[in-house]
Amino acid sequence: MTDIKGASWHTWNISLKDPNFSSVDMNNVTKVYIGFGGTEKTGQSKGGAGTKSGKYDTVWFDDIRLYPPRCAPEITGLDKIHALGDFTGPYEVEDCNTDYFDVRMMGEDWMKIDGDVFTENRPAILSGFLDDDPNWTTGYIGGAIEVNDTDGQDKIDVTDPRLPGLTNMTITAWVKRNGGPFEYCGIVASREAPGGATELMGSGGKTDNQASYGWNGDYWGVKTGLEIPDLTWTFIAVAVEPTQAIVYMHPFDGTMDSYLNVADHETLEHFKTQFRIGRSNPDGKRFKGWIDDVRIYDWTLTEPNMEQLVHQTGEPGEPNDLPIYWYKFDETEGLEAADSGYGTQIYQVNVLPTNLVPKDPNESADPNLGSGVFDPNNMDIINFRDFRAMADHWLESHPWP
């Protein structure tokens, strides 16, 4: 109704695609009414929108026309009809022509992904600590956090990690256990399905303190023989690839030991919605002691890489191989631990107008769009396919398509 309020002559475009006309058979129209409010003929009661308000205005109509679909730059919204490849004109508005100005705009977007990619780091939230006062303390590298079984509630949660589908993965941590043994005590754990978990553990059984791990609910009971010493800062890690996993252990005053488990390790099923530090999901499967420098990598570190971490002689891998998640626990206070990793890559749809041809519609829907994980191999990109679509309409005038 705002179209009738302008106190000057102007075009009033009424799209026949308007939902109000959805029940009208456009091939069987014999009369057209123009007005405001209603009568029985238009399906509205006289006492409805057309009831007199006591104030009268005048609206003039002239030159009523019926068009086939046409290019009308002044129309906005879902009813807009435009020439394919017409993004802009001399004054940065669509002009119904596919010409140099549109090619220039496409050139600016050339080889761009139809959206934005950014990284998102996720803090670790400390909860369940007695009186909400976690014990921040000195760690092996900088600060550390203490978790204990005073009330069995100490836990550190990371929500929405978005890490499903990995085939290679490494989890590392510095720990100093305080007594034990503890049953399957989780150090970094994700349990998102009944009876199944993926985790790095400070105990792989009920009667020992052997560093161990679980992968998609398997290998919990593997005896590594790597017993974590009590009250000693110790580096532990698990490095997984499709055909094997290696558990590493290096006490502060010792040497590197490892255990190899040659077995199938199928694609990661956990770390989709949450993981915890200091405790597996069940209350009883908790670690007691101090934890420092927790890292998660999306690639498989080797023993020389582990030595680098132990002796702090540099970061493993290339510059872009930093941990996806990296909690140093250097905050000294509060209920939140910062993530120092490079974060999860998120794809945010931005719909560039120059992307005329979407990816092959016969392809299956990209499962990563829903989770937010960036998949550069299956995104819409401004490229030759879009230029080809534009070239088909090059220099054609489109006032009357």
Q: What is the CATH number of the domain that holds 204?
A: 2.60.120.200
Give the span between the Cα atoms of 6 and 8, in whole angstroms.
6
Lowest mean pLDDT among 86-90, 229-233, 327-331: 86-90
Lowest mean pLDDT among 18-22, 99-103, 208-212, 370-374: 370-374
The label of the residue with tokens 């050139």 reads 107
Residue 327 pLDDT greater than 90, yes or no: yes
Residue 285 pLDDT greater than 70, yes or no: yes
- DSSP code of 170? E
| 230 and 316 assigned to the same domain | yes
| 112 and 139 assigned to the same domain | no
pLDDT of amino acid 14: 79
Q: Where are the alpha helices (DSSP H) in 226-302?
A: none
Average pLDDT of the residues in 181-208 = 81
Comparing 306 with 119, the larger pLDDT belongs to: 306
Give the span between the Cα atoms of 393 and 387, in whole angstroms.
10
Give the span between the Cα atoms of 207 and 200, in whole angstroms.
17
Lowest mean pLDDT among 1-10, 25-34, 50-59: 50-59
CB burial of residue 137 (10 Å; 0-12, 13-18, 19+): middle
Report CA 198 to chain centroid distance, whole Å: 21
Average pLDDT of the residues in 200-205 = 84
| 292 and 171 assigned to the same domain | yes
Task: List Cα–Cα distances, 117 to 25, 158, 160, 348, in angstroms.
Answer: 46, 22, 17, 6
Residue 177 pLDDT greater than 50, yes or no: yes
pLDDT of amino acid 196: 79
Specify whether the CB–CB gap between 75 and 81 falls below 8 A: yes
pLDDT of amino acid 351: 76
Count of the separate structural domains present in the chain = 2
| 263 and 294 assigned to the same domain | yes
Give the span between the Cα atoms of 264 and 244, in whole angstroms.
6
Average pLDDT of the residues in 251-274 = 93
pLDDT of amino acid 57: 67
| 225 and 313 assigned to the same domain | yes
| 197 and 321 assigned to the same domain | yes
| 330 and 188 assigned to the same domain | yes
**Which domain, by its residues, includes 53?**
1-120+343-401
| 154 and 242 assigned to the same domain | yes
Q: Residue 211: which pLDDT band, with cuts at 50, 70 and 90?
A: very high
Q: Residue 149: which pLDDT band, with cuts at 50, 70 and 90?
A: low
**Type of residue numbered 208:** D
Specify whether the CB–CB gap between 198 and 270 falls below 8 A: yes
Lowest mean pLDDT among 22-26, 78-82, 284-288, 330-334: 78-82
pLDDT of amino acid 74: 61
Residue 91 pLDDT greater than 50, yes or no: no
Residue 164 pLDDT greater than 80, yes or no: no
| 301 and 207 assigned to the same domain | yes
- Return the C-alpha torsion angle 47, 52, 57, 58, nearest 10: 50
Q: Residue 1: which pLDDT band, with cuts at 50, 70 and 90?
A: low
| 336 and 348 assigned to the same domain | no
Give the rounded percent of residues in the chain with a pLDDT score beyond 70.
77
Average pLDDT of every residue of the chain: 81
| 389 and 305 assigned to the same domain | no
| 136 and 272 assigned to the same domain | yes
pTM over 0.95: no
Three-state DSSP at 208 gives coil
Q: Residue 337: which pLDDT band, with cuts at 50, 70 and 90?
A: very high
